[in-house]
Chain A
Amino acid sequence: QVQLVQSGTEVKRPGAAVKVSCKASGFTFTRYGISWVRQAPGQGLEWMGWINIKKGNTNYAQKFQDRVTVTADTSTSTAYMELGSLRSDDTAVYYCVRDFAYVVDVWGQGTTVTVSS
């Protein structure tokens, strides 16, 4: 079946970076894009950025422009989101979601990232 499986829980110190992976299966990875979305505890959803898997081009939310990098490895059907210069308010669940032709449909299970000294 179509699914996105994300990497496990991360605990990071302030100032560090985190890299979350998202492995796709059940569909042709290169025909789609992947967006990254986060949700702080008790808060709403926040879009962070997107990658066109085939072309490799990216778009980022202005808020994260200088700290986030989204990449993809077509050989393993895996997308990655790296967020640097972590702060305590980056503590959140991070989701990958399939996103192409304005259809945002299949979500990963989420990865909890905790930033604490």
Chain B
Amino acid sequence: QTVVTQEPSLTVSPGGTVTLTCASSTGAVTSGFHPNWFQQKPGQAPRALIYSATNKHSWTPARFSGSLLGGKAALTLSGVQPEDEADYYCLLYYGGAWVFGGGTKLTVL
């Protein structure tokens, strides 16, 4: 049973910087896991932010960036805005199947 682990919750001040991570129970996360990141606000469908670890979609705000960091996938928000308060999910590829992380609830306070 593959498990993808994210921080359950994080708090950041407006204008600050925060990094969310995504770890795999199988070992280091590499580009071969094709990490995708999503934002979900209450009552809404998820919205795609990042694909293939580092690539932004055309609609992704510039303050969001993705990376591979210390054996994990990472999502960094720089200059956090109040509207960034949401749940964030990573998604990793395991040879024909995707597995979501448990999600990180980001509070902007």
Would you call the interface of chain A mostly helix, strand, loop, or mixed?
A: strand
Decide: A47 and B100 in contact? CB cutoff 8 A.
yes
Chain B residues near A16 (CB-CB < 8 A): none
* B91 CB, nearest partner CB in chain A, Å: 6
Tell whether A44 pairs with B98 under 8 Å between CB atoms, given A102-B93, A107-B47: no
Least CB separation from B40: chain A residue: A45
Residue B96 at the A interface, CB < 8 A?
A: yes
What distance in Å separates the Cβ of B105 from its nearest Cβ neighbour in chain A? Answer: 10
User: How many residues does chain A have at the interface if contact means C-beta atoms less than 8 Å apart?
Assistant: 23
When the two chains form the complex, which single residue of A50, A59, A61, A107 contacts B46, counting CB atoms closer than 8 Å? A107
Q: Is A105 touching B51 in the complex (CB atoms < 8 A)? A: yes
Flag whether A46 is at the interface (Cβ < 8 A). yes
| Interface contact B36-A104, CB-CB below 8 Å | yes
Query: Cβ of A102 and Cβ of B100 under 8 Å apart?
Result: no
Interchain CA distance A35-B38 in the complex, whole Å: 15
Interface residues of A in 86-117 (CB under 8 A from B): 95, 97, 99, 102-110
Tell me if B100 and A104 are in contact (CB < 8 A): no
Q: What 6 new A-B contacts, CB under 8 Å, besides A45-B46, A107-B48?
A: A61-B97, A97-B46, A103-B36, A103-B52, A104-B91, A104-B98
Top 5 nearest A-B pairs (CB, nearest first) are: A102-B34, A47-B98, A107-B45, A45-B100, A44-B103
18 residue pairs bridging A and B, Cβ less than 8 Å apart: A35-B98, A44-B102, A45-B38, A45-B103, A46-B100, A47-B97, A60-B97, A62-B97, A95-B46, A102-B36, A103-B52, A104-B38, A104-B48, A105-B48, A106-B48, A107-B45, A107-B47, A109-B45
